[in-house]
Amino acid sequence: MCGRFTIAVSQKELFAYLQAEYGVKSRQFDFEVPRYNVAPGQNVLAIIHDGNQYRVGALKWGLVPHYAKDENIGFKMINARSETLHEKPSFSPLLKKKRCLILADGFYEWQRSLSGKQPYRFITKEQRLFAMAGLYSTYQRSDGSKLHTCTIVTTDANGVVGKIHERMPVILNSGDSYRWLDASVEDAEKLLPLLKPFPDDSMRGYPVSRVVNSSKNETEACIEERTEASFGRLF
């Protein structure tokens, strides 16, 4: 699964990435960086394609289907398994029409031990921003206001993440991210092959402080590498 991630870049780095990768020129979106401990229920930075251009905006993490009776269901729908997207009633319509990218530069997973849960952060070896595959939905509240939410698509862990956890978010390279957002594509058979593990040789993981275990902690200390001997070999 993916239950916590980072987008620990400056505003300048973020805008440069959005312009270079997606031709986004507007800086008018409500999302502040850097973020060191993004958690479910919080806003994330997402990219969609409206049929004419790429657009960037904030979505609440935790999918609330349009037919939901209680928007708190979103906390149970922070992830969507890639293998069953086309089968689940909550996800299959979104796979056709409501695909998005969620930006990050790292994500956390936890290793259980007798001494508690030890967090690890996973990043690309290039240490750059990347796009996670997502789905989004719009829910209308009883007062008429709208809630825009999303879920992160997950797949089997690669060899790096698999040392800690069996699942990981789908990280798309540039070419696959454009195909994922292509509004003209609705066929699951063309989309599902994109949802594969990120290459082992392009990723690394390292242990971080348990300060990240609480989503209330949002400081640079969350991403600092721990090198105590007790962690053993890094990977």
CA 140 from chain centre, in angstroms, equals 24
Mark whether 150 is an active-site residue.
no
Asked whether 49 and 183 are in contact (CB, 8 A), the reply is yes
Which residue type, as a one-letter code, is found at position 153? V
Which residue type, as a one-letter code, is found at position 141? R
Mark whether 2 is an active-site residue.
yes
Q: Which of 172, 180, 153 has its CA nearest to residue 78? A: 153
Give exposure, 81-104, as e/b (b: 16+ Cβ within 10 Å).
bbeebeeeebbeebbeebbbbbbb
Cα(53)–Cα(196) distance, integer angstroms: 26
The DSSP symbol for 105 reads S
Cα(150)–Cα(99) distance, integer angstroms: 9
Catalytic site residue from 21, 100, 109, 224: 109
Residues known to be catalytic: 2, 109
